[in-house]
Amino acid sequence: MVDFTLTDEQKSLRELAHDFAEGEIRPVAWEHDKDGSFPMEVLKKAHEVGLMNTHAPEKFGGAGLGYLDGCIIEEELAWGCSGIQTSLGCNGLASAPVALGGSDEVQAEFFGELTETLKLASFCLTEPDAGSDVSGMRTRAVKVDGGYRLNGSKCFITNGGYADWFTVYAKTDPDAGHRGISAFLVRKDDTVIVDKKEDKMGQRASNTATITFNDTFVPAKYLLGEENKGFKLAMMTLDRTRPGVAAMATGIARSAFEFARDYSKERVQFGVPIAMHQAIQFMIADMATKVHLSRLATWNSAVLLDQGKRNTLESSHAKRFASDSAMEVATDAVQVYGGYGFIKEYPVEKLMRDAKIMQLYEGTSQIQRLVIARETLLPRRVEEPANA
């Protein structure tokens, strides 16, 4: 039986997240967007009420929530502001490789820190010459007595300017392409430099920085998984986090849809609200359909993970469709507002700027199509486990 009915616990989570988004995020979202400031006060409140680090295992002090639970929360918080949600949720991306490749000792150490107090972590994969082409990275990790020495730069790092530790991917075998990449946990110290804060078009409440590692020492125990197996770890991580990105895109689209729907009932042209005109009705209907289908695809990709199944194809379907739909819905919302939609005094222009990044980070829409094509042309058995 297929059933998308939420449990009472999931309904309570959704209500908690929605109330937090409405009461704590939306009132400050447009001000943080205007000046590009970091919403630390919101993060502190989110940590206090348990809306951060939701996937941290219970045995390490976390809530141990499932992937569907996380998507329910992420949609609501992104409905409030996707930039603030990106800041809130980044720990999940950075810590997923810890859960997949860290020893029990390392997991206890790092998950324990995240749950005990407000600490931030960053995921460091992208480089100026290695975005979609991960194998082109230049960051090097050289084995030394007791661990590794790390050198190189990573760009577009979420929460990079505020992170206490980083999950870093580096070449341990520079001649082996993606088969020569390893993953490490790196604590912030004097050798870790925040080089640049990016001035972004959208999601301006999210800190995005360039991080440089200058002969940074990494103890051997902080190697995640096996040496030279970091690429597989990164891909397994993204399979687990793309449903959350799709949920965020759904939240943006839903917010834009709701603003456009309500405005269309208030704005009068030719003697009637513009919602009475068929041209506008069709736009609103298309928005509603895209939001609805984005959520269903997102939930499906998350439920597979909760069932222990591989979700590579489904997470790419969800991420691609939801992110493209968010851009389309936000653009149409601006259209519904007409000239007012182009003015910063009105909310939908921010949503349109925020939506664009959803098509870019954690795998562009084009990369998702490549994954979908590969998985469709060379399908695997549906019962294959998630860690395959």
d(CA 222, CA 148): 9
Q: Is 156 left (phi over 0), alpha (psi -120 to 50) or beta?
A: left
Cα dihedral 311, 230, 151, 112 in deg (nearest 10): 70
116 flagged as catalytic: no
- Token pair for 345: 């005094």
Query: Which positions ≥6 away from 365 have C-beta within 8 Å?
Result: 320, 323, 324, 359
Residues facing residue 166 across a β-bridge = 122, 186
Which stretches does DSSP call E strand in 117-160? 121-124, 140-144, 147-158
Phi, psi angles (nearest 5°) of residue 346: -105, 150
Q: Select from 260, 323, 261 the least CA-distant residue to 294.
A: 323
d(CA 83, CA 234): 23
Q: Which of 22, 127, 362, 375 is catalytic?
A: 362
Query: Which positions ≥6 away from 100 have C-beta within 8 Å?
Result: 224, 225, 233, 236, 237, 387
Residues facing residue 218 across a β-bridge = 148
- Token pair for 211: 């991080």
Q: How far is CA 287 from CA 75, 95, 214, 297, 339, in A?
A: 16, 34, 48, 16, 19
DSSP string for residues in 31-78:
HHHHHT---HHHHHHHHHHT-SSTTS-GGGTS----HHHHHHHHHHHH
- Token pair for 205: 């409440």
Angle between helices 82-101 and 26-35 (to 10 degrees): 90
Phi, psi angles (nearest 5°) of residue 185: -95, 130
- Token pair for 299: 């939930």
- Token pair for 54: 């939701």
Please give the positions annotated as active site: 362
